[in-house]
Structure 1
Amino acid sequence: MPEPTDPKAGESSYNDALDLGILENTRLTESSGIAASRENPGYFWVTNDSDPQGPMLYLIDSLGKGKKEYLLSGATQRDWEDLAVVGEANGSATVYVADIGDNFLNNPNYVIYWFKDLKITSNSYTVLTDVKKLSFTLPDGFRDMETLLIDQKTKDIFIISKRENNKRLYKIPASQVVNGTNTIAEYVQDLSFSVPFTNDLKIQQAYYITGGCVSPDNTEILIRNYIGIYYWKRKAGESIPEALLRTAKAVPYKLEPQGEGVSYSHNGSGYYTISESPDLSPTHLYYFKKK
């Protein structure tokens, strides 16, 4: 497969995968999103895309240990696919949850939830009551989506479709991210990476876009599919859409059963990946350290 380009070709500034271990919380069988907590350095928020326990997030440490569970009061978990954590000017941080999956292309609307990143406590189960919600639709119908990118400075939200040969980029400007409202996301552009080179269904599925993240310092972007990870280093003054029009570089990747989540560490020293477990085998946490 010609894409992503081989990171061993001298482009990558990251080391190969370090297997940090198996997730201790056995409820994390459909791990679709991961994002590094700012209030708890070395810990990560993780979500299943669906969960029999309800609209839950989980907090794990950098070795995959921990069983802290958080119920988002008032939320509905239809198909949670990605997470993001964004730092605020006052030193706090906000956790965003993207309910944007749409396997059957029939969701009446998509939802972004957000809440304040909070310090871990001794409680194993916490109910989050101050959860905000934005509903949105797309200007061009229904899309299955799994990738959430948030500009760490402007707070603009970007979402990427999953299945098309040329994936589509949408934007919700920060000014429209208002609790309790509905909006229409803006179509920005088609994307020219992760394009399958054949009509073979299995190959096309390998190129589905399943997750992404922006580095804490806002200068790097990672977007993954099932077989690799694309990387962009943003230029000064360059927007996320402008960066994504440039040719991506490749960074190391460890093939996973159904790899969906990717997150930078809280300080940008490397990135982590996580997978769903379609065969219920243990889920591993992988780390790729910056050289």
Structure 2
Amino acid sequence: MADGVGKRRSAVLGVLLLLAAVALPAQAVAAAPGEPTCAVRDSRLTELSGMVATDDGYVMINDGAENEARRRIFFLDRDCAVVRAVPYPTRPLDTEDLAVGADGTVWVADVGDNDRSRETIAVWKLAPGADRPVLHRMRYPDGPHDAEAMLVTGDGRPVVVTKFSANLYAPTGELRPGATVPLAKVGQVKLPASTTSNPYGLLGRSVITGAATAPDGRRVVLRTYADAFEFDVAGGDVIAALTGGTPRATPLPDEPQGESISYSPDGRALLTVSETAGQPAGTRPTVLRYPLAAPAPSGSPARTPEPTGATPVQRSAERADRDISVVSGAAMAAGALGVLLIVVALVARARRRTTPGK
């Protein structure tokens, strides 16, 4: 990644990958890769963190970028060519996910917080035909969290899903420009266990990096670096679906850094796109299509790879949410200490070789 936020995220992911490799070797599953739909060739779109598919093409955003030209809401055609780029009136901090309401309003989730240091998070709302999005601030009730996923309910209520603990937060009142609205914790998601191969191993199968709502509002999906988990929504109650439903799993194997997900406009497939900053030169972000199986009939059990409920992976992820900065610091300190000990041993060995009588 090109910016400070990206570098910190890369460091954190590196630590997570190391921990996952030590805790449990990655287990591959027989899962089909997504079908390429189109490749994004605009050089401003390499740190993709959010995507929504529309009838005309796509809406995409980067995460927080140092390069001012990348801080835009990008509209693309069906061939993934940029046709419009809307700037923010002030600099966003860390934009991570997207949603489009039934009225065409674009919602941008400015909720990323790798250091867990933000006093507030925000959503930007871009009305149809507007040339600038409007900022709406929110505050967690229990301190900062890192989040990369957001859903918008049918009545226009954003639901933020935290990355490591899968906690759900929603505003306690109507969002207003210039005001900070308190959030309330409204539940927690329990994802099934997974063995899907991905670049980040064990923890890559549990951290939540994106979310989307089906065009008809009857399904929602959460994704990790490895899988997509689709929940049926009854009566428009997204919270009840996420906290009490049994999801259907769609493996998303070996995506480079999958943080974006959307339903296709007809609702028959899931679409994803990966961030490519840090990938080999010439790698283009590519929209991938994963066909969906028909939902289970009412009253029938949904398809899932494992029984739901708290798993050791999720408990580990919850601890990571609290302690990731400590782990990162400890890892760096341990590495520095190891190098120092090696240097001391080499110096001592050289001295023994040059001391008379030795």
Shorter chain as normaliser: what TM range?
0.7 to 0.9
Q: Does 2:62 align with 1:60?
A: no
CA distance in structure 1 between the partners assigned to 2:237 and 2:77 by the alignment: 32
Match for residue 60 of structure 2 among 28, 46, 56: 46
Indicate conservation of the 8 Å contact 2:231/2:247, yes or no. Answer: yes
Q: Shift of the alpha carbon at 1:27?
A: 1.7
1:217-232 equivalent positions in 2, closer than 5 A: 217-232=216-231
Bigger radius of gyration: 2
- How does 1:133-172 map onto structure 2 within 5 Å? 133-151=135-153, 153-164=154-165, 167-172=166-171
In the aligned structure 1, how far is the partner of 2:277 from the partner of 2:246?
32
Selected match of 1:183 from 173, 181, 188:
181
Higher helix share: 2
Cα separation, partners in 2 of 1:47 and 1:115, compared to 1, 3 Å: same
Taking only the aligned residue pairs, the percentage that are identical comes to 23
Deviates more, 1:46-55 or 1:103-112: 46-55
Residues 286 and 54 of structure 1, relative CA distance in 2, 3 Å threshold: closer
Distance 2:110 2:30 in 1: 32
Contact 1:7 1:251 in 2 (8 A): no
Superposed counterparts of 1:1-291, under 5 Å: 17-37=34-54, 41-51=55-65, 52=67, 53=69, 55-63=71-79, 65-88=80-103, 93-118=104-129, 128-129=131-132, 131-151=133-153, 153-164=154-165, 167-172=166-171, 175-193=173-191, 202-235=201-234, 237=235, 239-245=237-243, 246-280=245-279, 281-290=283-292
Residues 204/234 of structure 1: CA separation in 2 closer, same or farther (3 Å cut):
same
Aligned residues of 2:62 and 2:70 also touching (Cα < 8 A): no
Q: Which amino acid aligns with 2:179?
A: T
Distance change (3 Å), C-alpha of 1:75 and 1:7? farther
Cα pair distance change 1:196/1:95, threshold 3 Å: same
Helix, strand or coil for the counterpart of 1:282?
coil
Using the size of structure 1 for normalisation, the TM-score is 0.80
Amino acid at match of 1:85: V
Task: Note the aligned Cα RMSD (angstroms).
Answer: 2.9
8 Å CA contact retained: 1:55, 1:75: no
| CA distance 1:227–1:290, shift in 2 (3 Å) | closer
Shift of 1:218: 0.6
CA distance in 1, matches of 2:175, 2:97: 17
* Displacement of 1:247: 2.0
The count of aligned residue pairs is 260
Q: Contact between 2:226 and 2:251, CA under 8 Å: does it hold in 1?
A: no
Aligned to 1:123: none
User: Segments of 4+ in structure 1 off by > 6 A?
Assistant: none
Shift of 1:224: 0.2
Q: Greater share of strand residues, 1 or 2?
A: 1
CA deviations 1:151-210 (Å, max 9, x no partner) are 1x211210100023xx2111125x51222221111101122116789xxx9522442100
Q: Pick 1 or 2: higher relative contact order, CA cutoff 8 A, min separation 6.
A: 1
**Structure 1 residues 196 and 265: alpha-carbon distance in aligned structure 2, compared to 1, 3 A threshold:** closer
Structure 1: runs of 5 or more not aligned: 9-14, 119-126
Task: Indicate the residue corresponding to 1:11 in structure 2.
Answer: none
TM-score by length of 2: 0.66
Q: CA deviation at 1:290?
A: 4.3
Whole-Å separation in 2 of the counterparts to 1:178 and 1:195: 39
What is the alpha-carbon distance in structure 2 between the residues aligned to residue 220 and residue 7 of structure 1?
25
Preserved CA contact (<8 Å) 1:24 1:66: yes
Return the alpha-carbon distance in structure 2 between the equivalents of residues 229 and 59 of structure 1.
24
